[in-house]
Structure 1
């Protein structure tokens, strides 16, 4: 089992070993440190990283598998402008001491201590390395997600400098190029590529968002048991067309004043998630809605009417006023980064603002997340007639009263 834990001073020798091993074949690393005695380099790195860790200004993380440290990441949290200026002054004063004897100090300073021109609050990935023997066990991506999740929780960007080879990995995690490459003037064969992951913004969806939200919903839901039970034979194009038509109707209701909302989570201009919920009155005050469900071409209508019909019947019979949370969808590339949690908080805040409990119907896959957020079962489990492994759990969370 992979664990991400805070590193300690006792871990530093192993962290240094991993870093030196992982970057041994890197051309820039060889150009900067190629003339440094390996033992001197190791001792200098241990001393430097121990000092950095003990200052407590950065997050030193280790990835651990079966008790063995297999990866390391160093994250710098957002800094105040006065702290940045102080740090830069200290770096200039200690520039020569920063590197072990034999280092190409001019190239090291040019490439590793340049001013990236970042003006916004941000997390910065200073270092990420995985033992070459473990580079396909998700240690690197999990260490990366740790910082991305922190940034999303705080609503700030993430910055890093990548090699050309590493850029596709970061692009899959939502990073984009940030300005031109930083090319060495001393030796132009060396370059680093500044990248930025925009902070997550959550806003009401518009009609123009729907074509981008449709594949997010499909990719998020199609592996699930409910979707396979109902829509296994639906083509992607038919599913997306159905989604756009359905949610165009929801947005029309919202714009006419009905208490429904579709929120889109965006990173920059790119949609990565959505939630859909509505505020419902007490049963006796609710307007009756017998509009039949529409399904995409290719759907197993009988099975869809079975499980979704049972769900609709349950929702319509809830006697008390509530915030009915219908959907959360997060693009697979953004899952595990805190996006889902932020989208969930938006729904919980809507329920709290209205003074209403939030209800939902959880799949087996999603239920643990909702339990962590405080949701509890509150009605009989909904079970498909043709497959008793296909289930939905009615759940509720009540807001604590001040």
Structure 2
């Protein structure tokens, strides 16, 4: 039985990367996202390689994890309940968000989807320096237990300490979590993804 105190926030390491892939596909079960990121061996390797590249080569992208100190994974390590990827760079420093799309992914749809997300972020944030919450994934076993809040609070506290704003592309289901931390929805009417900024 998990207690709230068993959840602990830590920096993520490259050794955690295989577990991230499992968590990613367990967390993102929305049919539209499953179409963009089909759960095939090839796409799973693509996700794992993309995260490994960023963990090792992009120090401005900070990966944080929430572990459950009372539960072990198959390797005997504390189970990862959730993880987040915060991007602390200016947009022009970051480069392309993802590597070229895997052949099993709908490339044109992926390009359109993420180009639109980037356009909305520029519309809302302009050239203002801000931290970008690129990804938050919580395993279904840990949803609504505070793991996501720990990850969001970590980046918001860092943004406050450095006097910068923050931004996240949120699902409509996820939007209330971000609203608790001061994010406001600046989406255009009819948008399925909430463009949320903490100004």
TM class by smaller structure? 0.7 to 0.9
Which of 152, 156, 171 matches 2:164? 156
Greater relative CO, 1 or 2 (CA 8 Å, sep 6+): 2
> Tell me, what secondary structure is at the counterpart of 2:86?
strand
Given that 2:66 and 2:82 are in contact with CA atoms closer than 8 Å, whether structure 1 keeps it comes out as yes
Q: Which 4+ runs in 1 deviate beyond 4 A?
A: none
Whether 2:45 is the aligned partner of 1:43: answer yes
> Tell me, what secondary structure is at the counterpart of 2:10?
strand
Gaps of 5+ in 1: 184-190, 199-402
Determine the structure 1 residue equivalent to 2:3. none
Determine the structure 1 residue equivalent to 2:129. 121
Q: Distance in 2 between matches of 1:129 and 1:181?
A: 26
> Tell me, what secondary structure is at the counterpart of 2:54?
helix
Offset at residue 82 of structure 1 (A): 4.8
Offset at residue 179 of structure 1 (A): 4.2
Q: In the TM superposition, what whole-angstrom CA distance separates every residue of 1:180-226 from its partner, at most 9, and x where no partner exists?
A: 2684xxxxxxx21110012xxxxxxxxxxxxxxxxxxxxxxxxxxxx
Given that 1:32 and 1:103 are in contact with CA atoms closer than 8 Å, whether structure 2 keeps it comes out as yes
Q: In the TM superposition, what whole-angstrom CA distance separates every residue of 1:278-300 from its partner, at most 9, and x where no partner exists?
A: xxxxxxxxxxxxxxxxxxxxxxx
Q: Distance in 1 between matches of 2:189 and 2:47?
A: 27
Given that 1:182 and 1:193 are in contact with CA atoms closer than 8 Å, whether structure 2 keeps it comes out as no
Q: Distance in 2 between matches of 1:182 and 1:15?
A: 32
> Tell me, what secondary structure is at the counterpart of 1:165?
coil
Offset at residue 130 of structure 1 (A): 0.9
Q: Distance in 1 between matches of 2:61 and 2:162?
A: 16
Q: In the TM superposition, what whole-angstrom CA distance separates every residue of 1:247-279 from its partner, at most 9, and x where no partner exists?
A: xxxxxxxxxxxxxxxxxxxxxxxxxxxxxxxxx
Change beyond 3 A, Cα 1:8–1:161: same
What is the RMSD computed on CA atoms of the aligned residues? 2.0
Whether 2:67 is the aligned partner of 1:64: answer yes
Task: Please show how residues 200-219 of structure 1 align to structure 2 within 5 Å.
Answer: none
Determine the structure 2 residue equivalent to 1:194. 195
Change beyond 3 A, Cα 1:181–1:167: farther
Determine the structure 2 residue equivalent to 1:30. 34
Given that 1:111 and 1:192 are in contact with CA atoms closer than 8 Å, whether structure 2 keeps it comes out as no
Whether 2:88 is the aligned partner of 1:77: answer yes
Which of 19, 27, 33 matches 1:14? 19
Given that 1:73 and 1:126 are in contact with CA atoms closer than 8 Å, whether structure 2 keeps it comes out as yes
> Tell me, what secondary structure is at the counterpart of 2:103?
coil
Determine the structure 2 residue equivalent to 1:177. 185
Q: Distance in 2 between matches of 1:63 and 1:111?
A: 28
Q: Distance in 1 between matches of 2:133 and 2:110?
A: 18
Q: Distance in 2 between matches of 1:78 and 1:157?
A: 12
Structure 1-normalised TM-score?
0.42
Structure having the higher Rg: 1
Q: Distance in 1 between matches of 2:92 and 2:103?
A: 31
Counting matched residue pairs gives 179
Given that 1:181 and 1:193 are in contact with CA atoms closer than 8 Å, whether structure 2 keeps it comes out as no
Determine the structure 1 residue equivalent to 2:148. 140
> Tell me, what secondary structure is at the counterpart of 2:35?
helix
> Tell me, what secondary structure is at the counterpart of 2:33?
helix
